[in-house]
Amino acid sequence: MEEKKTKISHTDEEWRKVLTPAEFNICREKGTERPFTGEYYNHQQSGTYLCKCCGEALFKSEDKYDSGCGWPSFSQPNAQSVVTEHHDVSHGMVRTEITCARCDAHLGHVFNDGPQPTGLRYCINSASLNFDKE
């Protein structure tokens, strides 16, 4: 049985104390880092990618692949319960935003152009992640 985790909520002031300005922009204000600039877009180590804000285990290295888009891409989350999907119509596009289910940090977006068996591409900002090496 999956453990129910406590929802984490902080004020913007509290988040600004623990995040860099770039991390705050991406995680709390739904910003996006430039492609091919993030720490993890070409990262090859084995381990688990964690939420920058709350430490939730979001993605596993074995589900990471090079999609060519310039952001870390994953075929699936660690568990479906760790991410929440939101309808996003910002910037004149229709997309599905992904946030951390535990702390609502903006992670990126999910698209239907990924590899099988899921057919999904979770396109994630490096600044919203930490990495726990195996």
CB 58 within 8 A of CB 83: yes
CATH fit for domain 34-133, picks 3.40.50.1240, 2.170.150.20, 3.20.20.80, 3.40.50.2000: 2.170.150.20
Which residues are CB-contacts of 83 (< 8 A; sequence separation ≥ 6)? 58, 77, 98, 99, 100, 101, 107, 122
Q: Binding site for Zn(2+), residues?
A: 51, 54, 100, 103
The residues carrying an active-site annotation are 123
- Which residue stretches of the chain have pLDDT < 70? 1-4
Q: Where are the domains positioned within the chain? A: 34-133
Predicted local confidence at residue 3, as pLDDT: 54
- Number of Cβ within 10 Å of residue 44's Cβ equals 8
Q: 3-state class of 64 per DSSP?
A: strand
Distance CA 55, CA 116 (A): 28
Cα(64)–Cα(59) distance, integer angstroms:
8
Structure tokens at 100: 């951390």
pLDDT for residue 4: 58
- Token couple for 84: 């929440």
The first and second tokens of residue 131, run together, are: 């990495």
- pTM score, whole prediction: 0.92
Q: What pLDDT does residue 134 have?
A: 82
The pLDDT, as a whole number, for residue 1 is 42
Residues annotated within the binding site are 51, 54, 100, 103
